[in-house]
Each structure stands twice: as C-alpha cells, then as structure tokens.
Amino acid sequence: MSDKNPANKDPITGAPGSHPVGTGVGAAGGAAAGAAIGSMAGPVGTVVGGAVGAVAGGLAGKGAAEGVNPTAEDSYWRENYTKTPGYRKDYTYDDYAPAYRTGYTGWERARASGQSFDAYEPTLRSEYEKAKGKSRLNWEEAKSATRDAWHRVERAIPGDFDKDGR
C-alpha cells in the first residue's frame, strides 16, 4: 500500500500534519457550544460565541486527530530498519514490521495513562505475541524495535508525556 501524502500535508498550504476531519468536527462542535453560551447575551452573543467556539473547537479537533500516522510510521521504518542497532541481516522488514507497529500503536494507547515503555511493556509483549503473524522475532528480539518505534513517536510530540526523560 502506498501513501502519496505520508506527511498528511494540507492541500492548500502544504503544511504537514493536516487533519481536516478532526478540525472540522471540532469546529462544528465548538461553534454549537459557543453559540449556545453566547445566546444568553442575545443575537450578537450568539454570533461571537459561535465564532470563538469554532476556532477553539477546531484547534481541539486538530489536536485530537494528531495521533500516530501509521502509514508514515510504516514508511519510515521500512526505509530505516536496517540502520538500527538491533538489526540482524537474516531478518526482513516483514519480520520487524509487527514490532514497530506494536511500538507506535502501543505508545498511542499508553499516553492516556502516561505510562512509560517499561511500565507498559507487559501489555506490549502480549500485543506483539498476538499480532506478530509470520514474524520470526521472539519478544526479546522484537523488544528493541518496539522501543525504537515507541520513542520515535514520543519524540515527535512536544513534552515528555511518560516522564522518562525522552
């Protein structure tokens, strides 16, 4: 599967990280909430509240949509897996892919509770074992690739959500 827009660029500005659906849904919800609150001040309050709510909701919607882009992550790892310290020449990308996927999708699930990789590792191991398919890597071999993908996503997001210093 090929993605002609792996950076998810905005079709108008070309800026990476466009999330029109998340932004639109957030803007619509924010506009409705803002208009309802503003309506207490009359018709002008309804208009102003709707506009302010749309902007705030749009920003919130964009933030919610800015999760992991699995297509971009897969492309990155497909191009770079041979450059990682744990790479072994006798394995192919198909062996490593489930480990990377476990890392970047696991990070996204764990961020709600702020768990570090080490704290979330038992869950990651279980997820990897269920999803590894034909990969020849056992968990101990896959663990470093999973950790690499986890930290790559974590570094892309501002802040240190799991407070592990990365």
In angstroms, the CA 73 to CA 100 distance is 8
Is pLDDT above 80 for 91? yes
In angstroms, the CA 133 to CA 101 distance is 12
pLDDT in tens, 2-53: 445 555 665 555 655 555 555 555 556 655 665 567 667 777 766 666 666 6
Could you tell me which of 107, 84, 111 has the C-alpha nearest to residue 96?
84
Q: Which residues are CB-neighbours of 106 under 8 A, at least 6 positions away?
A: 120, 123, 124, 127, 146, 150
Q: Where are the alpha helices (DSSP H) in 19-92?
A: 20-38, 43-65, 70-80
pLDDT in tens, 15-26: 555 555 555 555
In angstroms, the CA 132 to CA 121 distance is 15
Pair of tokens at residue 19: 């999330």
CA gyration radius for the chain? 20
Q: How confident is the model at residue 139 (pLDDT cuts 50, 70, 90)?
A: very high
Question: What's the mean pLDDT when you consider all of the chain?
Answer: 77
Question: How many angstroms from the chain centroid is the CA of residue 89?
Answer: 29
Question: In this structure, which amino acid lies at residue 122?
Answer: P
